[in-house]
């Protein structure tokens, strides 16, 4: 029993460190994506940055939940687990309202496009492997701990990784083709990813260990 408790504590501490790494990266990702999106007038980059802020808020909630278990023990964590899971689901539900296809359609109608952004391209490239590594380890820890709240967090990272991929493809197409409409076309794809992320996060409150597409 003691060894089992010790193993769980080690996993909680590792999850704690992973969430701090997530916070550090999400701050960089959000700042670069939002700043470059505003400068380039890119809907996709701005949506990417706003989603990064939501993932940042989710990481802070999990830091709180993990800290309670580390300081007070497993028997005190049940209420924090439920609260963190509900907040995480609510945050991802809010992600649905971040972005709509309307701005993209308006830009297509008025022939308005975004400028190419090197900082946006670099942050999208870096986000893909970072999110992949974080999500794989977080899922393994969530399964071992049996935590719904921790399980929802890597689901966000997986979807955000796909979002990074969409932004990257759009920027590369924009750079190679010089097409003004690329940003307006890719933004509806990001909408669908954000909606998918919100739905999976809410379903994750009732399901542990579900299968999710990796990127």
- pTM score, whole prediction: 0.77
pLDDT of the chain, 215 residues: tens digit per residue: 565 888 989 999 999 999 999 999 999 999 999 999 999 888 788 888 988 888 898 899 899 989 988 887 766 677 777 777 677 666 665 555 554 444 444 344 344 456 889 999 999 999 999 999 999 999 999 999 888 888 878 877 877 787 888 888 888 888 887 665 566 566 566 556 555 555 555 555 455 444 444 44
Sign of the four-CA dihedral 58, 188, 164, 26: negative
Q: Is residue 214 part of a domain?
A: no
Q: Is residue 33 part of a domain?
A: yes
Rounded to an integer, what distance in angstroms lies between the CA atom of residue 120 and that of residue 33?
6
Instruction: Decide: helix, strand or coil at residue 134.
Output: helix
- Quick check: 135 and 158 in contact, CB under 8 A? yes
Q: Is residue 209 part of a domain?
A: no
Q: Is residue 215 part of a domain?
A: no
**In the chain, how many domains are there?**
1
Q: Is residue 213 part of a domain?
A: no
Backbone angles phi, psi at 96, to 5 degrees: -60, -35
In sequence order, the 6+-apart residues with CB closer than 8 A to the CB of 182 are 113, 114, 170, 171, 173, 174
Rounded to an integer, what distance in angstroms lies between the CA atom of residue 112 and that of residue 39?
15
Q: Is residue 127 part of a domain?
A: yes
Closest CA to 139 of 127, 81, 147: 147
Q: Is residue 148 part of a domain?
A: yes
Q: Is residue 114 part of a domain?
A: yes
- Quick check: 84 and 61 in contact, CB under 8 A? yes
Domain encompassing residue 152: 2-203
- Quick check: 192 and 137 in contact, CB under 8 A? no
Element (H, E) at 44: helix 43-72
């Amino acid at each position: 029993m003691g060894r089992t408790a010790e193993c769980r504590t080690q996993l909680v501490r590792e999850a704690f460190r992973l969430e701090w790494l997530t916070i550090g990266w999400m701050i960089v990702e959000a700042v670069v994506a939002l700043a470059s999106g505003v400068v380039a007038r890119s809907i996709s980059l701005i949506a990417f940055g706003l989603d990064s802020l939501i993932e940042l808020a989710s990481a802070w909630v999990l830091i709180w939940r993990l800290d309670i278990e580390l300081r007070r023990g497993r028997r005190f964590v049940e209420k924090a687990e439920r609260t963190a899971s509900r907040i995480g689901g609510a945050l991802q539900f809010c992600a649905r309202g971040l972005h709509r296809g309307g701005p993209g359609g308006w830009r297509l109608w008025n022939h308005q496009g975004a400028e190419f952004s090197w900082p946006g391209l670099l942050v999208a490239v870096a986000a893909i492997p970072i999110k992949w590594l974080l999500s794989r380890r977080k899922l393994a820890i969530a399964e071992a701990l049996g935590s719904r709240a921790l399980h929802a967090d890597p689901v966000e990272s997986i979807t955000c990784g796909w979002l990074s991929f969409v932004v990257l493809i759009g920027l590369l197409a924009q750079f190679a083709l010089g097409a003004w409409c690329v940003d307006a076309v890719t933004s509806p794809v990001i909408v669908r990813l954000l909606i998918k992320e919100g739905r999976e996060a809410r379903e994750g409150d009732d399901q542990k260990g579900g299968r999710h597409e990796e990127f």
